[in-house]
Amino acid sequence: MRQKLQLSLPTLASVAATRGLLGVGAGLLLSDKLARKRRRRMGFALLGLGIATTIPLALRVMGSR
């Protein structure tokens, strides 16, 4: 049987924002809409920020079980 996970609203918003950063960063890296140098710089920055914030957030969510 599955356990229900209860998250506070700020934690849930943090999870959504982190997923958004990862998605936008990956989207920029895959698109051709901006200049290549600018797109790569912004894409890697957002992707890195999303990855860096996912780790502590995942630990917090898994620890709340």
The pLDDT assigned to 65 comes to 59
List pLDDT tens digits, range 13-37.
988 888 888 888 888 888 888 898 9
Whether 22 is in a domain gets the answer no
Q: The pTM is what?
A: 0.71
The pLDDT assigned to 50 comes to 87
Q: Is the pLDDT of residue 64 over 80?
A: no
Q: Which domain holds residue 63?
A: 36-65
Tell me the average pLDDT across 1-6.
Answer: 74
The 3-state secondary structure of 2-30 reads CCCCCCCHHHHHHHHHHHHHHHHHHHHHH
- Name the one residue in this structure whose structure tokens are 């600018």: 38
Provide the number of structural domains found in the chain: 1
Whether 62 is in a domain gets the answer yes
Q: Is the pLDDT of residue 12 over 80?
A: yes
